[in-house]
Every structure is written in structure tokens, then in C-alpha cells.
Structure 1
Amino acid sequence: MGTLAALLQLRERRRQADRRFGVRLLASAAVAALAAVPFGLLLVLVEGVWKPLRRMDTGAAQRLHEVAVHHPAWTSVLHLLSDQVWDPVTLRSAVAVLTVWLLYRRAWRLAAWAAVTAVASGLIGLLVKAVVERARPALQDPVAHAPGYSFPSGHAMTATTSFAIFLLVLLPLVPRIWRTACWCIAVFSGLGVGFTRVALGVHWFSDVLGGWLLGLAVVAGTAWAFEAWRADTGLDRTPVSEGLEPELTEATPEPGASQR
């Protein structure tokens, strides 16, 4: 009887932790933008048309635009990377596939975290764009066009959140010897997509910086909710280098089995 009571108590504790996890996950996604102090500071400078920032944006846009205009082959590479490899639709589709795979593995909470983080990133980015209403660069002989407002860069924000999701979910499955390479690929991709947007003349540098900062804020907020759930259920908190859920390395449970 004592063992049965302990099991029932543990199950109830898990259920209560799951309910609190859901509330925290949605709440942290909603306030992530407000918690991003560096992003807030950048937003103030953008809205105030701070002259040093404006000079930096204008100078970077003009210099990179000159290179793009005079080197068509280089511009074609930028288009390939920006519009196909690192396109938000491509990255979000990859996150969707990852989420489905997590559901197959019955990693329910990790799947929920990945989906909420990706969706929150897109919605928060659109909301900030609509509030700020910053115009995109108007360059002579443009080599690319993009619809909508400029700040923050949706490409940069999506790349930041997407590659963070890949890292925090899949790192436990990657041999330690390859983890540094995974981090390098993720960082290079995040920086690379930002560079392509400025080089193609469709974003200011501060737009890209805003996308990076806001994307990191969203990931940090939802990851905090996930770690709080682990603490509620008695699981150890994990360092970033180990991913969010090291237990993902365990074999896929049989149908009807509960997730650890």
C-alpha cells in the first residue's frame, strides 16, 4: 500500500507540474519581448533616430550594396542563402518536422516547448514590426525587394530561434566530440542570415541586431519555463551544453507508457 500511495503521489505531482508548465510556457512567451533589456534599448534608439546608429546603418547598407551591384555572382549566392537555405519558411518547416518527431518519441513537453517557441517568435516579430513601422532601405538600383516593415529582421529572428531550438533539443543525441561543431554551425547560420539581409539591401544592420536580440529573448523565456517544470518534477536542471532534456536519449517508450 505504501508503494502504491507513493506512486499515486508522484503521478499527481507530475500532473500539477505539467499544468504549471503550460501556464509558465505561455506566460513566458508573452512577456519575452518585455524582458529583453538590450532589445528595448535598441528599440528606443531606433525610434529616436539616434544619429550614430543611423550613420552606422546607412554606411553599412551603402558599402555592402556597392559590392552586391558590382558582383552579380556574389549577389546570387546571397539570394540562395537568404531566400532558400535560411528562409523563414524553410526553418519553420524544419522545426515543424522536429516537433512531429518529438511527438513520435512521446516527448510531449519538449514538443510543446519547440512549437510554442517557434510560433511565439513569429507572432512577436510581426507585432513589433507593426508597432515600430520602420521603412526598409531605399537604395538606388536595388538587388532585392522584401515586403512589410523592417524592424526587427524576421529572417534574423527566425534563424536565431530555430537554430536555438535545434541545439537545445538535439544536443543530447550528439556525441560530445561533435557538439562544438554544432554550436559553430548554429552561430555561423545566425550571423550569416543577418549578413545576407543587410548585403541584399532589404534590412538595416540595427534591424538584424534587433532580430537576434528578440529571438534570444524568446528562447530564454520559454527555456526558463521548461527548466522550471523540471525543477517542479524533481528533475535536475541541465546546463545549456546538455540540451533541455537529456532523457531524450532513452529509447522510445511503448504506446501507453508515460514520459519521464
Structure 2
Amino acid sequence: MLVHSDARRRWLWTAAAAVAAYALLTVAVEVTWPPLVERDAVVSAAAHRLALEYPMWRAVMSAVTRTGDTVVLLSVLAFTLGFLLRRRMLAHLAFVCAAVAASATLRLVVHALVARDRPEGMLALAAGWSYPSGHTSHFATAALLLLMLVWPLLWARWQRIALVATVGGWAVLVGASRVALVVHWPSDVLGGWLVALAAVPFALMTHAVWRNHSRP
């Protein structure tokens, strides 16, 4: 997987900005910064009322959120790794593994340290601490990986626009569904998106540097 110098610089800045934003958001969550807590409470209460008032909306959000379940994403990951291994695309395989590992580490360490409670009145089953959202970070990571793997294969502009709109839009929907079902605070979802935006570019950069240094 080749990463040109200009693209490498952009991804580096993306990862740095995401890490900085993630750190700031985590501090705000940890110290229960009043503006953040108040905004989370307002949005969560509105989402709860909307879901109870419109059962169809709740059903749609429940269907969307299931696409981000661990079983679904692990199945997709297993298929992807198997495909790359079968095609002997070992550089791509290493990149995907590094990105998944980085994303999981960034989420789980903060998840355990912050230990934030979930909102009251949850409308779907959910276990564990709230921040950052696992569904969101996992699906956003998968979406970014799909974009990076498929992007070089697409030449038409409309194809790339369709790919970004479909994959990116669904990642946003999965995150939104966690708030809509009142199983996560809005800032949990934002944290999940930032995890993916930090982990995947970081893995790409690390992999590119390793590839360059490992060449004879």
C-alpha cells in the first residue's frame, strides 16, 4: 500500500488533530465539564422523547444500530482478512490489523479509565461503560478502512463520491442511532468517531514508515 508524500502529510495532520480533539474531549468528560454535560443531557432527553413518540423511528434506529454489532463487524473483519490473505496482499493485511488494534487500544484504555455511566432510560440493550461508544468507533474504523482499500480501485469521480456518501453516511447513522436509542451520550459518539479518525491514519502512517525502512 503506497502512500505518497502529500497524502502522507495530510493523513499525519488528520491523525494529530483527531488525537488532540480526543484528548480534549476525554478531559472534558472526565471532569464533567458543565457545558458538555448539559448539552449531552438536553440532546439525550430529546432523543428519548422522539423515540417514544415515534415507534417507527425507534425501529429504524434499532435496525441501523444492529449493523454495528460486534458479531457483524467481526464477521466482516474475518472475511476481509481472509480475502487479503488469499490474494497474498500482505501489506494490506498488516495495515488492517494495525488499524483495528490501534482503534481498540485507543478506545478500551480510555473506556476503562473514564468509566462513564450510560444515560438513564436506555431503549436498547447495552453493557459496560459509556465513553467512548464502541459501536461508533468500530463501525467508523471499518468504514475508513473500506474507503482506503477501495478508493484506489475507483477511477470515476462519481464512484468515489458514491463510496464516501454511502460508507461515511452509514457510519454517521450508526453513531446517531446510539444517541437515538439513549444508550450513549452524544459526546460518547463524538469520541468514537475521533478514535477512528486517529487510529486509522496513525496505522497507515506507521505502516508506510515501516515499509520504507524495511526495503533493501
Alignment TM-score, normalising by the size of structure 2: 0.85
1:96–1:115: 8 Å Cα contact kept in structure 2?
Answer: no
Equivalent position to 2:181, from 191, 200, 207? 200
Q: What is the CA deviation profile of residues 105-142 of structure 1, one whole-angstrom value per residue up to 9, with x for unaligned ones?
A: 11112101112212332243222211110000012xx4
1:244 counterpart residue number: none
Q: Which of the pair has the greater relative contact order for Cα pairs under 8 Å at 6+ separation?
A: 2
1:176 aligns with 2:159: no
Alpha-carbon RMSD across the aligned residues, in angstroms, is 2.1
Q: Which moved more, 1:121-130 or 1:64-73?
A: 121-130
1:91–1:159: 8 Å Cα contact kept in structure 2?
Answer: yes
1:161–1:219: 8 Å Cα contact kept in structure 2?
Answer: yes
Equivalent position to 1:106, from 71, 83, 88? 88
1:135–1:150: 8 Å Cα contact kept in structure 2?
Answer: yes
Alignment of 1:65-104 (within 5 A): 65-83=48-66, 85-104=67-86
1:114–1:165: 8 Å Cα contact kept in structure 2?
Answer: yes
1:159 counterpart residue number: 139
2:207 counterpart residue number: 226
Write the letter of the residue equivalent to 1:179. Answer: R
1:38 aligns with 2:21: yes
Q: Unaligned 5+ residue runs, structure 1?
A: 1-31, 235-260
- Aligned length in residues: 200
Alignment TM-score, normalising by the size of structure 1: 0.72
2:125 counterpart residue number: 145
| Alpha-carbon distance between aligned partners in 2 of 1:174 and 1:94, rounded to the nearest angstrom | 21
1:188 counterpart residue number: 169
Q: Which moved more, 1:199-208 or 1:173-182?
A: 173-182
2:68–2:136: 8 Å Cα contact kept in structure 1?
Answer: no
2:106 counterpart residue number: 124
What percent of counterpart residues are identical? 36
| Alpha-carbon distance between aligned partners in 2 of 1:232 and 1:225, rounded to the nearest angstrom | 11
Find the residue that maps to 1:226 and give its secondary structure: helix
Find the residue that maps to 1:49 and give its secondary structure: coil
1:95–1:118: 8 Å Cα contact kept in structure 2?
Answer: no
| Alpha-carbon distance between aligned partners in 1 of 2:52 and 2:133, rounded to the nearest angstrom | 22
Write the letter of the residue equivalent to 2:139. Answer: A
Deviation at residue 72 of structure 1 after TM alignment: 1.2
The structure that has the greater radius of gyration is 1
Q: What is the CA deviation profile of residues 171-205 of structure 1, one whole-angstrom value per residue up to 9, with x for unaligned ones?
A: 22233330111111122112111110001000000
| Alpha-carbon distance between aligned partners in 1 of 2:77 and 2:49, rounded to the nearest angstrom | 35
1:129–1:150: 8 Å Cα contact kept in structure 2?
Answer: yes
Deviation at residue 230 of structure 1 after TM alignment: 4.7
